[in-house]
Structure 1
Amino acid sequence: MASESDRAPPLAKLLASTDKKTRDKATKQLASFLSNSAPEALSKVELAKLWKGIFYCFWMSDKPLVQQALASELAELLLRSTSKEASLAFLSGFWEATVREWNGIDRLRMDKYYMLVRRFTNASFRFLIRENWESASLAEYNNILIRKGGPMCPDDQRVPASLSYHLADIYLEELDKAMSNSPVSDPLPAPLSTLLSPFFVLAARTPSNITYQRIQSALINPLFASLTLQTPESEDEDAPRRKRARLDEPEYTNFVSNACSTDPEEEKALPIPQLRAAVLRKMFDIASHEDSRDSNRRKLYAVWKVYKEDENVDKPLDAS
């Protein structure tokens, strides 16, 4: 009888077939294979081959409804695996394949791969929620994002900048969706400082000013605006109308109302002023690390100062 690892390379070829019926059948076999495989069933090389087949299976899905259905089906496999180790290995394979193949995606196919990244980001959060934000799983998830070959590695020139831009654009939105569509009935608070650490690391260490600007404008500013919009003082009729009047700012009510800093078991959900202070502290600590670039450190300190002092929350932030 063929071992689990022996089945992977033929499955990869079937997934990359030019025949849609063959690909559809292979996708169903993939779901069964992953749900019944032990975490050590595939070597790193075999997983890379499997993901190359999955990548091109998605490449050849042309119709919008087919693309959407397949993107959701592939992402949901993260929650189908029999162990958290297998799920994280599958996620690692996804990001390695995406970084490796990204520059070869033509402009006509780019939007559907943006959608695939969004689906996997959302499924990753739901997987972590299901695991009760378990510290080892969360540490490995962050490591997948920022290590060499990860989509947010600050010193790997092979990583396409547009991939980290897209993650910055969607990250908070997908976390908020995942908290509202939780796989458990009463999810523990999201450890926000830990979840945002990869972005703070990239912002602190990237040599690209454009990348820094994108992280600040797409993620850091909207995050702290949301944490300011929803503080009790912003609802006071006598308080300055500052952020309350800025209706274009996202609010992220699902995770803002159920988040902590690092330890859901110990901290429980923090009041919003304390949550904002904790996330600011995390950003400050990462910025102050010796590996941070001096220019980036100064910018992050400026952000910290603006949001640390309530009277200055309306001061515009310059990411230049």
Structure 2
Amino acid sequence: MGKNCRLAGGFTHDELLKIWKGLFYCMWMQDKPLLQEELGKTIAQLIHAFQTTEARHLFLQAFWQTMNREWAGIDRLRLDKFYMLMRMVLNESFKAVKSGGWEERLVEQLLDLLTTEILHPDSEAPNGVKSHFLEIFLEELSKVGAAELTADQNLQLIDPFCRIAACTQDSLVLHNITRGILEAIVEQAPLAIEDLMSELDAQSREDEGSAGDDDDDDDDDDDGAEAERGQDAPSGSLSAGSTRRADPEVGKGQTGEDGENTGPVLQFDYEAVANRLFELASQESIPSQNRKRLYKVIRKFQELAGGSFPEDDVPERAYKKLLEGRRKRKQKKKKKKSLPLSPQEGGEGEEEALSPDPGMETKRKRSRKRSRPAEQAETGRQRGAHGKRRKKPQQLLGARAKKAGAQQPEGKRTRIPEGKE
């Protein structure tokens, strides 16, 4: 489709780019958080104003191209609001596909648009846009379609990412796909199993309730029994209605032990996912680092298909338990430090203090040897002051002259007779 090609009753591609530039800076100028959220919802819901699928896709294409172009100029203070806008636009995109009954053609068109504008090497999308898109894809898809999508449809929705992970030369894209999509499915497996079991329990209760009503209709023929059934009918219809009203809520959210809502979870056929990944990763043209990374993920899916969970709990809960364990250990250490020593411990410490230490004795001997010259000098000074005689003035003068380097007077020479020599 050409950039200047105008759809029937719609906009051209260039006109939509101009519109999105205005919407972008409208979001840029909004600083209050609540108004940012309201404005983001209003902008994202503009997709439903377009009546045809082609016009919607052209609108989405202009949005992602605008984000790719303007991303480098967003400062860190405005980054969160545009993260939120991307999340809201993606959510409304899934709702538009949901309104079409999750038709396979609509799903393929949306996935082609997203992968072409964001993950394709020629898209020139910044790493921040790629990383955030891969991080929020499963979350927003779960919010919109967790209650309706089947395992086969979910496999179709993640298949483009599997193909990109197998062929990409970008290590960042490979890491984000494996971590944000494939390993996220593995981590959500316990919640998905709980969701499936609760759904099966609800269906079994409905079947039991309908079977019980049929038995009552066959067995009760008396008028009194009919009257009783007439009185019990409202309560029975209420219980059946309550289970039916609870069905849409199945899959919309799971409440953990700490009361936090972990959100809806998508259902997957783990064996089918493992087979699809193995089919892609086993090709000869696949880079070795991609193959190694995908094989690790394949093992996890195979373990899930076999009934063994790689992790016993959700990572958030496990992390909280780890933090609680660290806090308890720190508290125990503080208590041990604050507790006074017992008498036995004190006695042992005193005995150790009284026991001779050879190392300490050698240190004491060395210190004594070092202190002896100083002691001798002090005692010598004391003796000179009190016990010894004072030198005569002449001797003192001679000593001072020697110190000053003065020439000393020569003493008298005695003549020796020649014969005695």
* TM bracket (short chain): 0.5 to 0.7
1:314 to 291, 310, 316: 310
Q: Structure 1 residues 82, 311: closer, same or farther in 2, change over 3 A?
A: closer
Q: Structure 1 residues 213, 49: closer, same or farther in 2, change over 3 A?
A: same
Query: Which residue does 2:172 correspond to in 1?
Result: 210
Tell whether the 8 Å contact from 1:165 to 1:214 is kept in structure 2 after alignment: yes
Query: Which residue does 1:17 correspond to in 2?
Result: none
> 1:1-320 alignment to 2 at 5 Å?
41-147=10-116, 150-153=117-120, 155-156=121-122, 158-179=124-145, 187=148, 189=150, 191-231=153-193, 253-256=264-267, 275-288=269-282, 292-309=286-303, 310=306, 313-314=309-310
- In 2, distance between residues paired with 1:276 and 1:70? 39
Q: Structure 1 residues 218, 71: closer, same or farther in 2, change over 3 A?
A: same
Paired residue type of 1:179: G
Cα-to-partner distance string for 1:241-270 (whole Å, 9 max, x where unaligned) = xxxxx989x9664532xxxxxxxxxxxxxx
- In 1, distance between residues paired with 2:15 and 2:189? 44
Q: Which has the larger radius of gyration?
A: 2
Cα-to-partner distance string for 1:69-126 (whole Å, 9 max, x where unaligned) = 1110111112232122221211111111111211121111111000001101111111
Tell whether the 8 Å contact from 2:187 to 2:311 is kept in structure 1 after alignment: no
- In 1, distance between residues paired with 2:295 and 2:257? 27
- In 1, distance between residues paired with 2:149 and 2:8? 26
Tell whether the 8 Å contact from 1:226 to 1:251 is kept in structure 2 after alignment: no
Query: Which residue does 2:408 correspond to in 1?
Result: none
Q: Structure 1 residues 64, 290: closer, same or farther in 2, change over 3 A?
A: farther
Paired residue type of 1:196: I
- In 1, distance between residues paired with 2:178 and 2:257? 19
| Structure 1 counterpart SS, 2:122 | coil
Normalized against structure 2, the TM-score is what?
0.51
Paired residue type of 1:283: L
Q: How many residue pairs are counted as aligned between the two chains?
A: 246
- In 2, distance between residues paired with 1:198 and 1:64? 35
Q: Structure 1 residues 291, 63: closer, same or farther in 2, change over 3 A?
A: farther
- In 2, distance between residues paired with 1:247 and 1:165? 31
Tell whether the 8 Å contact from 1:200 to 1:283 is kept in structure 2 after alignment: yes
Cα-to-partner distance string for 1:27-57 (whole Å, 9 max, x where unaligned) = xxxxxxxxxx955632222222222222222
Paired residue type of 1:173: E
Q: Structure 1 residues 187, 313: closer, same or farther in 2, change over 3 A?
A: closer
Paired residue type of 2:92: A
Of the structure 1 ranges 284-293 and 68-77, higher mean CA displacement relative to structure 2 is found in 284-293
Structure 2: which 5+ runs fail to align? 198-255, 313-421
Q: Structure 1 residues 284, 72: closer, same or farther in 2, change over 3 A?
A: farther
Tell whether the 8 Å contact from 1:129 to 1:188 is kept in structure 2 after alignment: no
Of the structure 1 ranges 95-104 and 187-196, higher mean CA displacement relative to structure 2 is found in 187-196
- In 2, distance between residues paired with 1:290 and 1:48? 41
Query: Which residue does 2:372 correspond to in 1?
Result: none
Offset of residue 194 of structure 1: 1.9
Paired residue type of 1:109: R
Query: Which residue does 2:218 correspond to in 1?
Result: none
Cα-to-partner distance string for 1:176-208 (whole Å, 9 max, x where unaligned) = 21136xxxxx84547211211333233223333
Q: Structure 1 residues 280, 315: closer, same or farther in 2, change over 3 A?
A: same
Q: Structure 1 residues 285, 125: closer, same or farther in 2, change over 3 A?
A: farther
| Structure 2 counterpart SS, 1:77 | helix
Q: Which has the higher helix share?
A: 2
Q: Structure 1 residues 71, 165: closer, same or farther in 2, change over 3 A?
A: same
Paired residue type of 1:115: M
Paired residue type of 2:85: L
| Structure 2 counterpart SS, 1:108 | coil
Percent identity for Structure 1 against Structure 2: 32
